[in-house]
Amino acid sequence: MAPDRLRRIGGAALAALTLALAWTGAGASAPGDGNGGAPWVVATYAYPQRDRAAAVQPLADYLARRSGHAVQVRILPSPTALVEALRAGEVDVAVPNLHGYLQARAGEGAIVALPVPDVPPVQADRYRAVLVARDGATTLADLPERARDLRLALVGADSASGGFVPMAALRDLGLDPRTGFAALDYAGSHAAALQAVAEGRADVAALAADVYDAAPPEGVHELWRSGPIPPGPLLCRASAAVDCGQVAGWLLQAHSQAPAVMAALRAGWPEFGDATAFTVAPPLQDLAID
């Protein structure tokens, strides 16, 4: 049975990336800032084997066209770094993961939740976290007693399906993921976390369920599965230069005004599934992070 905390996450509930701070060389389509002032910054976080700059460039182009401002794209090393830059006023519009959204929600009131990709229900139901283990290593019932002898692999501390969601499940079992195991490794990606346990470099791993379901390795079994994990809404930092309500309205029109926006986001975030439009973000007040 899923832990109570993860029942509240969706209904039943990266090694930290040491990537250099990167800027795209070119701004978006507006050649200058027709309204004066600094260009807007649209930002997200890096992820292995995903061109996140390409994934958010059409969004930046679209906002540039609608606003008349020059817009630049910025890629931060992690969801946490993205939220810190947003709070510091260095980012105007952000594409976070769920963990980043939840961190920002706990911050200052200037940060506003924007619409969220409207993921088809069947695909939304598949976005879950799993804990898996090498055959013979442990069962879920035995995990609290055996954890001190087991090596744990997570995707990253601020990953949703490969980080804070399964970490919450482990805590509900009485285990501290950071100190309760023989070793803790951050694999950096879901595929790498699964590979670590399949190759015997870890005994237990946490990752996205769809990655495990696509190719369950021989000799690896599932210990636990979360409920569906909702995607995090986009974020906006309200300021004299940025009207977040107006940005939200533009996003809700993007499916007809600029279909390339969502097509590029889908390529950057598999959890967005076949979403073609944004929708108003539902209340996520029952979600929590430690």
Pairing of strands 22-23, 40-45: unpaired
Give pLDDT, residue 149: 97
Per-block average pLDDT, block size 10, for the chain (290 residues)? Answer: 38 28 33 64 94 98 97 97 96 95 80 96 94 97 97 94 95 96 96 98 97 97 96 95 97 98 96 96 59
Q: What are phi and psi of 220, to 5 degrees?
A: -125, 135
Tokens 């790498």 correspond to 192
| pTM (2 d.p.) | 0.80
Give pLDDT, residue 49: 85
Give pLDDT, residue 282: 82
Which residues are paired to 94 by β-bridges? 43, 235
CA distance 181 to 32: 54
Residue 182 token pair: 């023989």
Give pLDDT, residue 108: 65
Give pLDDT, residue 284: 61
Contacts of 238 (CB under 8 A, 6+ apart): 110, 111, 112, 244
Return the C-alpha torsion angle 191, 123, 278, 261, nearest 10.
50
